A and B are shown apart, each in its own frame.
Chain A
Amino acid sequence: MRFYEFEARKIVELAGIPVTKYGFCTSAEQARQAAEEIGGPVVVKSQVLSGGRMKAGGVKFADTSEEAAAHAEDILKLEINGQMPRGVLVDPKADVKQEYYASVVWDGTAKRPLMLFSDMGGIDIEEVAETHPDHVGRGHLANLFPIPDFEAKQTIAATGVTGSQLNRATPILARLARLFREYDMTLAEINPLAELTDGSFVALDAHMEMENEAVGRQKVLLRKQLEIAEDDTRETYEPSDFERNVAAIDAADHRGVIQGKDHGFSGNLGLVIGAGGGSLTLTDAVRSQGGKPANYSEIGGNPSVAKACGLAKEVLEKDGVEKIAVMMSIVSNTRVDIVARGVIKACLELGKDPGETIAIFRIPGAWEDEGFKILERYGVEYCDRSVSLWEAAGRAVAKVQGAAA
């Protein structure tokens, strides 16, 4: 789950990291008031879950509160990468002496959080790591033990930072590391972390992402402290009708799991496929053999007939779908006969001939004999494990292309 900058700032603040006095505003009038309260030059920043705000015109500087209000008016109407802003952040224009970078991410290989620090802040850290590797400090954290300040100090000192800068930055990085762990973040980044002309350090921008699996146990932060609504899930893109419908069918019945995605797909061959790895393998196999998938899907965990039927119907009703391919890797939990009944039912309910509509049925495994009997009755071409996922996908592609020609 991604956070807006104004929320990330709040999280950083809650962890005891200094921030500038900022205001989150949803109208030009609020922005004017916020700028007045701050006094002096301000920066007005669009609140969208997208990078590249500066380039898109979503960040503007103002010398007066009237100017801030005018900028807010424009920015609130400005769409950035397909997103309308949630509001604007009005922030004092800081007197920056030096910019630093601080973050914590997961290192999946070491299975530990990794702190990163650089004295070259404000720019892309990957670029710094490439061009100035000696300016990036790294430090792994333990999972079971308290995070000591010295580990943050070591990470910062590795970049050559010393003196009062080292002593001021150390508690900030240590607190960032602690909040990363406490709040189940997958990314906690302050960039830039600014040293102001008076020598103090403040977080000028922050970027936070929380692991979706942990949202349930972070209710105090999410609902109470940040006041984020339960249905505000922050998907990176707007789900399509197909995706919404499949999710609704899945939620209506606890037996088994179905998922459907069509973001980036627009072909003529509907895919009713599974399970996780099988779906990835099959989608590649269809594409590699010249097929055009209309969607991606996953069946698993032994869904009911209604669920399998619901998924097949949604796929069949997508624009441009001529045939569906029903394919899975060998199943042990999901029952072949139940999926067979579901997809045949979907065809019949839409007034389609299952034998014509289902290009291929390749699901070997539990209850396959019962399933194959049903398929035979409706004239559906099926195959068992002696036909590979690659070959089954190829047959489906050949059929749909034959039909189109």
Chain B
Amino acid sequence: MSILLNKDTTFIVQGITGREAVNLTRECLDYGSKVVGGVTPGRKGRDVHGVPVFDTVAQAVENHGGPIDGSVVTVPPAFTKDAVFEAILNGIKLIVIVTERIPRADVAQMVELAEMEGARIIGPNCLGLIVPGVCKMGGIGGPAKDAAKAYAPGPVGVMSRSGGMTTEISSSLTQAGLGVSTAVSIGGDAIIGSAYAELMPYFEADEETKAIVIYTEPGGRMEAQLSEWVKDNDSRLPIVAFMAGKFMDDEEMKGMSFGHAGTIVEGVEDTATEKIARLEAAGIRVVERIDEIPDAVKQKLGAAA
């Protein structure tokens, strides 16, 4: 099993004729994902690696002959909000926003509409999600053969604010013989569609997932939110966390942003030190070194068994 995706998941790519979108479409098709259409206004009638291109999402849905599950949105920042609204209001329930540098007010509007319509947004500024050997939605893991090397099926759910680190961590879990149930690149912005705590119920309900690994960074309050969720819901899932960017706690780094737009330390609660303390207080194991993750997961799984 898995979360959010399965072998039958259908999706479209909005902005499909862009250079990166063409690559991403190829990668997803090669991996076995069902890409059933693409949208670029004014390009109806073309195809991208055999995927038909339409002017509107409604045309793509009509051509498919039934509801489409998801959309990967890769249009420029100024047009992303409109594209996401179009997807949601045409019945699409899972939206991966790859685009970065979208103003927060737009993201917040998209999230609000998604809540009203029962849709879920992953991202923005993310690489999407992958169920090893089953489906990948977005550029996560890269070309199919590279993705296969880094992602083997297994019991660990992965959530990461960094797209690249999603694959780095999953690869280490694969090499250690553990493997991944579903890995989600949740996005590096200050406001994202799905923070850790909002995806936890899905992992909790997925029988195959036995443990969670999160990659996190300074900035924002989403670790505090996760810690509270874990306490409030008496979660069955052990969690191992890795915090990057501890150097940002230095006094001279105050007010600076590194890596992702969301990593800016504005208050004491945003610092790595404070976040680690909060996570640990909720029983989440925070490892010091990135290479300690697989062993920490094994220990947690051993303790649970």
Name A's B-contacting residues (CB within 8 A): 106, 108-109, 111-113, 126, 142-144, 181, 184, 186, 211, 213-214, 216-217, 236, 261, 263-264, 274-281, 283-285, 287-288, 296, 298, 300, 328-333, 365-366, 385-386, 388-391
Contact = CB atoms under 8 A, between A and B. Distances in A.
Interface in B90-125: 101-105, 107-109, 111-113
A285 B290 contact: yes
Interface residues of B, number: 65
A109 B113 CA distance: 16
B78 interface: yes
Contact of B259 (A181, A277, A285, A388): A277
A333 B139 contact: yes
B288 A277 contact: no
B256 interface: yes
A298 B188 CA distance: 15
B261 to A, nearest CB: 7
Given A329-B164, A385-B168, A385-B175, 17 more contacts: A108-B191, A109-B224, A126-B267, A143-B112, A214-B103, A217-B78, A276-B259, A277-B259, A280-B248, A332-B139, A333-B20, A333-B139, A365-B146, A366-B142, A385-B172, A386-B175, A388-B291
Contacts of A330: 150, 164, 167-168, 171
30 contacts: A108-B220, A109-B222, A109-B225, A113-B108, A142-B112, A143-B112, A144-B112, A184-B103, A211-B105, A213-B101, A213-B102, A236-B255, A236-B256, A263-B252, A264-B252, A276-B164, A276-B259, A276-B260, A277-B164, A277-B215, A278-B168, A284-B245, A285-B289, A287-B247, A298-B259, A328-B164, A329-B162, A329-B164, A331-B142, A391-B291
B34 interface: no
Contact of A106 (B101, B104, B147, B175): B104
A181 B253 contact: no
Contacts of B113: 144
B259 A280 contact: yes
Interface in B60-110: 77-78, 101-105, 107-109
Given A278-B168, A287-B247, A332-B142, A111 B161 contact: no
B221 interface: yes
Nearest to B169: A329
A33 to B, nearest CB: 36
A84 to B, nearest CB: 19
A388 B287 CA distance: 14
Interface in B160-213: 160-165, 167-168, 171-172, 175, 188, 190-191, 195
Contacts of B146: 332, 365-366
A279 B258 contact: yes
Contacts of B107: 111
B304 interface: no
Interface in B197-254: 215, 217, 220-222, 224-225, 242, 244-248, 250, 252-253
B229 to A, nearest CB: 11
Interface of B: 20, 23, 77-78, 101-105, 107-109, 111-113, 139, 141-143, 146-147, 150, 160-165, 167-168, 171-172, 175, 188, 190-191, 195, 215, 217, 220-222, 224-225, 242, 244-248, 250, 252-253, 255-256, 258-261, 263, 267, 288-291
B175 A111 contact: no
B291 A390 contact: yes
Given A109-B195, A184-B105, A365 B142 contact: yes
A279 to B, nearest CB: 6
A277 B244 contact: yes
Given A284-B244, A298-B259, A278 B105 contact: no
A278 B247 contact: no
B190 A108 contact: yes
A135 to B, nearest CB: 20
B162 A389 contact: no
B164 A283 contact: no
A281 B259 CA distance: 10
A214 B101 CA distance: 9
Given A144-B109, A263-B252, A277 B260 contact: yes
A331 B253 CA distance: 27
Nearest to A388: B291
Given A330-B171, A332-B167, A280 B258 contact: yes
Contacts of B78: 216-217
- For B139, B190, B220, which residue has the most chain A Cβ atoms within 10 angstroms? B190
B290 A390 contact: yes
Contact of B165 (A214, A277, A285, A365): A277
Contacts of B105: 143, 181, 184, 211, 214
A109 B262 CA distance: 12
Contacts of A106: 104, 108, 190-191
B108 A112 contact: yes
B164 A331 contact: yes
Contacts of B142: 331-333, 365-366
A213 B20 CA distance: 21
A213 B261 contact: yes
**The 7 A-B residue pairs with the shortest CB-CB distance in the complex, in nearest-first order:** A332-B142, A277-B162, A388-B291, A277-B165, A280-B244, A276-B259, A264-B252
A283 B143 CA distance: 28
Given A111-B111, A332-B141, A278 B171 contact: no
A109 B220 CA distance: 8
B165 to A, nearest CB: 4
B77 A213 contact: yes
A2 to B, nearest CB: 10
Contacts of B263: 280
A374 B161 CA distance: 33
